[in-house]
């Protein structure tokens, strides 16, 4: 039986795309007959405390010699020295959702420090798995040879096509943690210019990840008198999220950067037209016949794109048809697990 240790930072049940990817891949590998042990490191990574580093060193040292170890990039980039110390004893593979230095809102000095640390850690592993072709290309800047990189895109669960909203108005749905990178403040600012249109917006996502962003969004909604039109739903269960997709008319995510865009893929799986940004891997996830993309951070362009889609039901219908076509091409989680198994196969002990 193939065996794998999956190391990640923080709570594996955290409601983000990266942690969902880790959970679903682990589940899929187990169904394929793998023994997968998930080991949680301290949540302080990629800025670990001394105690967190000491604990990570213990975890690595306790793994048996020759163990195949897949380390999530959020943890990997915070412990290059520990990874280097295990070269030759463990079979180390990195899982990179997107390079840490690509996170928005970083100072140039902080971004450079993360870039140096992650480049050092990536040089120590034998292989790198990424979640998009876009991220694979980014790793050229990290001196990772293309032959050491495998692309395993996230899967998407099949879903019934959205039925749309009931009654008048256009129901907009945005699914993402409320953080600066996801651009919800841009979305609200753009929609405030379109208050003469009949729309309502539901923001689904963690209210805990960035309290300052949530506070700013609440102030923005109140200052713009949009309290009756914008709902902050917070994190919701899968049982509630499915109906929110099915009763939406349009999916919106003005993100500043995505290493893949799992919420966008889920919107396509539901046949929803998309308005998002030409940022990171988004153009590879959302085809041109399924969505309208604008430059990240450009509120004028976002407002204009939203106006077109709100004003033209026939445009929404065309984009929805493109989304349904794109949905048929999305990989399933079973396929994603099979591709991960194939990517990891060279490191499996015979």
- State the Cα angle at 340 between 46 and 332, rounded to 5°: 105
CATH 3.40.50.2000 in the chain: give the residue spans: 3-155+331-347, 170-327
In three-state secondary structure terms, 263 is helix
Q: Which two tokens stand for residue 247?
A: 């009763």
DSSP labels, 262-302: HHHHHHHHTT--EEEES-TTHHHHS-TTTEEEE-TT-HHHH
CA separation for the pair 73, 71 (Å, rounded): 6
DSSP labels, 91-110: EEEEEESS-GGG-TT--HHH
Q: Which two tokens stand for residue 70?
A: 């897949």
- The pLDDT assigned to 103 comes to 86
Work out whether the CA dihedral 314, 315, 318, 323 comes out positive or negative.
negative
Beta strands in 213-257 (DSSP E): 230-234, 250-253
Q: Which two tokens stand for residue 350?
A: 């015979």
Task: Give φ, ψ of 185 to 5 degrees.
Answer: -65, -35
Q: Which H helix or E strand runs over 68? A: strand 68-72
How far is CA 257 from its chain centroid?
9
CA separation for the pair 139, 128 (Å, rounded): 9
Question: One digit per residue, pLDDT tens: the chain, 350 residues?
Answer: 899 999 999 999 888 889 999 999 999 999 999 999 999 999 999 999 999 999 999 999 999 999 999 999 999 999 999 999 999 999 999 999 999 999 888 899 999 999 999 999 999 999 999 999 999 999 999 999 999 999 999 999 999 999 999 777 899 999 999 999 999 999 999 999 999 999 999 999 999 889 999 999 999 999 999 999 999 999 998 889 999 999 999 999 999 999 999 999 999 999 999 999 999 999 999 999 999 999 999 999 999 999 999 999 999 999 999 999 999 999 999 999 999 999 999 867 65
Q: Are 111 and 327 in contact (CB under 8 A)?
A: no
- The pLDDT assigned to 349 comes to 66
Q: Are 277 and 104 in contact (CB under 8 A)?
A: no
CA separation for the pair 222, 292 (Å, rounded): 28
Q: Are 292 and 274 in contact (CB under 8 A)?
A: yes
- The pLDDT assigned to 341 comes to 97
How far is CA 266 from its chain centroid?
11
CA separation for the pair 328, 271 (Å, rounded): 10
Q: Are 35 and 2 in contact (CB under 8 A)?
A: yes
DSSP H helices in 125-168: 133-138
234 DSSP β-pair partners: 204
Beta-carbon count within 10 A of 125 CB: 25
Q: Are strands 3-9 and 170-175 parallel, antiparallel or unpaired?
A: unpaired
Q: Is the pTM of this model over 0.85?
A: yes
Question: What's the topology of domain 3-155+331-347?
Answer: Rossmann fold (3.40.50)
**Spatial CA neighbour of 134 closest among 321, 264, 266, 304:** 264
CATH class of the 170-327 domain in this structure: alpha beta
Q: Are 13 and 47 in contact (CB under 8 A)?
A: no
């Amino acid at each position: 039986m193939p065996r794998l240790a999956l190391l990640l930072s923080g709570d594996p049940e955290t409601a983000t795309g990266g942690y969902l990817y880790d959970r679903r891949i682990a589940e899929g590998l187990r169904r394929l007959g793998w023994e997968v042990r998930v080991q949680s490191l301290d949540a302080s990574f990629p800025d670990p405390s001394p105690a967190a580093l000491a604990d990570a060193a213990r975890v690595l040292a306790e793994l048996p010699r020759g163990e195949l170890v897949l380390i999530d990039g959020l943890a990997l980039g915070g412990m290059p020295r520990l990874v280097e110390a295990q070269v030759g004893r463990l079979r180390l593979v990195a899982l990179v959702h997107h390079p840490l230095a690509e996170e928005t809102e970083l100072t140039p000095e902080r971004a450079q420090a993360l870039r140096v640390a992650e480049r050092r850690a990536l040089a120590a592993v034998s292989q790198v798995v990424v979640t998009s072709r876009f991220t694979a290309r980014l790793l050229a800047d990290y001196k990772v040879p293309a032959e050491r990189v495998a692309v395993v895109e996230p899967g998407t669960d099949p879903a019934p096509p959205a039925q749309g909203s009931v009654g008048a108005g256009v129901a907009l749905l945005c699914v993402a943690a409320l953080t600066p990178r996801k651009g919800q403040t841009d979305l609200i600012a753009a929609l405030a210019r379109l208050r003469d249109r009949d729309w309502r917006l539901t923001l689904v996502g963690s209210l805990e990840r960035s309290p300052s962003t949530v506070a700013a969004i609440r102030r923005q909604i109140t200052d713009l008198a949009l309290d009756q039109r914008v709902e902050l739903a917070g994190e919701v269960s899968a049982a509630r999220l499915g109906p929110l997709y099915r009763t939406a008319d349009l999916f919106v995510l003005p993100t500043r950067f995505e290493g893949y865009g799992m919420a966008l893929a889920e919107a396509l799986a539901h046949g929803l037209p998309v308005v998002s940004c030409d940022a990171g891997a988004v153009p590879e996830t959302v085809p041109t016949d399924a969505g309208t993309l604008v430059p990240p951070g450009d509120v004028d362009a976002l407002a204009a794109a939203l106006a077109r889609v709100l004003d033209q039901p026939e445009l929404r219908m065309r984009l929805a048809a493109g989304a349904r076509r794109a949905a048929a091409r999305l990989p399933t989680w079973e396929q994603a697990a099979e591709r991960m198994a194939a990517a990891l196969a060279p490191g499996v002990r015979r």
